[in-house]
Amino acid sequence: MPSLSRTLSEWIVNLRFEDLPPDVIDRAKGLTLHAISSILIGSQTPAGKEAIALFVEEEQGVRNGATILVSGQKVTKGGAAFANSEMCYSGGKWDTFRMLTHPGTSIIPAALTGSELTSASGKDYITAIVAAYEVMERMAAEFIPTVMTRGFHASPVFGIFGAGIATAKLMGFNVEQMNSTIALCASLASGNLEGQRSGGKALREGAAVRNAMLAVDLAKRGHPGGETVLEGAAGFYHAYTGNNLGKLTYSFTGKTSTNLDEITANLGQEWLFLETLYRIYSTAGYNIAHVDITAQLCKQHGIKYQDILKIEAVVNWLETQYPSPAFTSRREDIGTAKPAGTAYYTAFGAVAGGFPETRGIGANPIDTDTPKEVLDLMHKVTLIPSHTMTLFGPRITIFTNDGKSYTQQGTGREFVWDYNEEVRRILKAKSSFPISEEAFMCIVDFCKDLDKKDLAKDLIALTLTH
| Per-residue pLDDT tens over the stretch 145-172 | 999 999 999 999 999 999 999 999 999 9
Give pLDDT, residue 395. Answer: 98
Average pLDDT over residues 97-107: 97
d(CA 461, CA 410): 40
Average pLDDT over every residue of 9-32: 98
Quick one: average pLDDT of 106-122? 97
Does residue 241 register a pLDDT over 60? yes
Residues forming beta bridges with residue 397, ordered by sequence position = 312, 407
Across the range 375-394, mean pLDDT stands at: 96
**Residue 164: burial class (beta carbons within 10 Å; 0-12, 13-18, 19+):** buried
- In this predicted structure, the answer to whether residue 140 has a pLDDT above a threshold of 80 is yes
Residue 362 has pLDDT above 60, yes or no: no
For residue 368, what pLDDT is reported?
Answer: 67
Task: Single out the residue of 52, 69, 70 nearest to residue 111, CA to CA.
Answer: 69
| Among the listed residues 416, 428, 415, 424, the one whose alpha carbon sits nearest the alpha carbon of residue 448 | 424
- Please, where are the H alpha helices in 72-222? 77-91, 104-118, 122-140, 144-149, 154-170, 175-188, 194-197, 205-220
Q: How far out from the chain centre does Cα 164 lie? A: 16
Distance CA 65, CA 61 (A): 8
Pairwise CA distance, residues 48 & 93, whole Å: 14
Cis peptide before 323 (omega within 30 of 0): yes
Alpha-carbon distance of 243 to 6, in angstroms, equals: 20
- Alpha carbon distance 165, 10 (integer Å): 12
| pLDDT in the model for residue 83 | 97
Residue-averaged pLDDT of the chain: 95
Q: What percent of the chain has pLDDT over 90?
A: 91
pLDDT band (50, 70, 90) for residue 336: confident
Q: What is the pLDDT of residues 412-432, one digit of tens each?
A: 999 999 999 999 999 999 999
Radius of gyration of the chain (CA): 22
Binned at pLDDT 50, 70 and 90, residue 364 comes out as low
Helix axes 77-91, 22-42, angle to 10 degrees: 90
The amino acid present at 378, given as its one-letter code, is M
Alpha-carbon distance of 182 to 342, in angstroms, equals 37
CB 169 within 8 A of CB 12: yes
Domains of the chain: 4-279+430-462 (1.10.4100.10), 285-409 (3.30.1330.120)
Say how far apart CA 64 and CA 207 lie, in whole Å.
Answer: 20
* pLDDT of 363: 53
| Strands annotated E in 284-428 | 308-316, 321-322, 330-331, 381-386, 395-400, 405-409
- Note the pTM of the prediction, 2 decimals: 0.96
Coil vs helix vs strand at 382: strand
Q: What is the pLDDT of residues 258-309, one digit of tens each?
A: 999 999 999 999 999 999 999 999 999 999 999 999 999 999 999 999 999 9
60 band by pLDDT with thresholds 50, 70 and 90? confident
pLDDT tens, position by position, 436-466: 999 999 999 999 999 999 999 999 999 999 8
